[in-house]
Amino acid sequence: MYCDDIPAPLAVNYNGPMADPRFPATRLRRLRYHPAVRRLLRNTQLDPAKLILPLFARPGKGVRQPINSMPGHAQLSVDFIAEEARQAAKFGLGGIILFGIPAEKDPLGRDSYSDSGIVQQAVKAAKDAAPELLVITDVCFCEYTDHGHCGVIADCGGRKDVDNDATLELLAKQALSHARAGADLVAPSGMMDGMVGAIRAALDGGGFSHVPIMSYAAKYASSFYGPFREAAASAPQFGDRRSYQMDGANIREAMREIALDIEEGADMIMVKPAMPYLDVIAAARERFDVPIAAYQVSGEYAMIEAAARNNWSDRDRVIMESLTSIRRAGASVILTYYAKDAARLLG
């Protein structure tokens, strides 16, 4: 007999001299039948300390504005951000990453670099509530601009597009303002050329040489960001992001992006989205020695939730399997809307 319910399998020697030549000598299933052996030999571990929870900060007090396409998540006023920070610390999460949705959007996204801006308020509240918790900020403009693009718009040869170098100056201001508010780590996500170098120089010049940069280095122009754009009200008002985010068909270009960001001073790099780009994570892991993060984005979350809410899949198991696959591909850290769920499941 050789099946899942062998009563005393260690006593059965399939490879000995008495082995039946009709059956294979190598038995991989021997290491699978016993849950304790499976647990002992598991290659990839999930740990709440490696998970980062994204949160959306909005103005007001006592406001929890649900996000339709991300059931279970909401835009939160700063007092609720503080509460989430306390919970994240209690769950032993690796940290939180904050996105700001300002009361007023304008062409330059001024709120993002105002010391009294929404994300600055959220950082302060989170650090006050949970001083030991790692608080990261997303450094970008699309949540703050009225046109929804990730930088300053200019006329680029008769075509409206994001002006790379004008945006760099503002990105530097924004990152510095986040650091002044108390951000422990900044994460530029706008895919501007030179953004890491510009931010590094600004942080160093402003007395924040100890603040690391996690660069969204290989960020693809992905349809999986759809729900986020509802969450942050950041859908581009014209065109799309394909002149700055990467084409989903490319992997060598991702390696160039990552190499350049490391050269410019990125301490960690990110691949985003995660599940549709596991090959990119794996290739980056092979090639670079910096810590690699992956972002399980809003659309990945929405797909899993939609299937689960229809009873088409086992939510908890799909969550754990998806996170495990991202870790197995080589990500050290995962940004995921499931951070608290996973911590609960692991606890």
List of residues contacting ligand PBG (CB under 6 A): 138, 140, 142, 189, 225, 228-229, 297-298
SS3 150: coil
Shortest reach from residue 181's CB to ligand PBG, in Å: 17
Cα Rg of the chain, angstroms? 23
- Positions annotated as catalytic residues are 219, 272
Q: Please give the Cα distance from 319 to 343 (Å, whole number).
A: 11
Q: How wide is the angle at C-alpha 197 spanned by C-alphas 257 and 53, nearest 5°?
A: 70
Element of type H or E holding 110: none
The owner of tokens 């780590």 is 185
Residue type, 45: Q
Q: Which is nearer to ligand PBG, 129 or 184 (CB)?
A: 184
Shortest reach from residue 43's CB to ligand PBG, in Å: 27
Q: Which is nearer to ligand PBG, 143 or 184 (CB)?
A: 143
Shortest reach from residue 26's CB to ligand PBG, in Å: 43
Shortest reach from residue 202's CB to ligand PBG, in Å: 18
Shortest reach from residue 285's CB to ligand PBG, in Å: 21
Q: Which is nearer to ligand PBG, 143 or 264 (CB)?
A: 143
Q: Please give the Cα distance from 81 to 88 (Å, whole number).
A: 10
In this structure, what DSSP letter does residue 247 have? P
* Cα–Cα nearest to 264, from 320, 299, 230, 217: 217
Q: Which is nearer to ligand PBG, 244 or 288 (CB)?
A: 244
Q: Which is nearer to ligand PBG, 225 or 288 (CB)?
A: 225
Sign of CA dihedral 323, 328, 329, 330: positive
* Cα–Cα nearest to 142, from 97, 96, 184, 111: 111
Shortest reach from residue 269's CB to ligand PBG, in Å: 15
The token duo for 80 is: 């609720």
Q: Which is nearer to ligand PBG, 55 or 329 (CB)?
A: 55
Share in percent of the chain as helix, strand, coil (round to 5): 40, 20, 40
* Cα–Cα nearest to 74, from 89, 95, 55: 55
SS3 60: coil
* Cα–Cα nearest to 268, from 284, 288, 289, 291: 291
Max CA pair span of the chain = 81
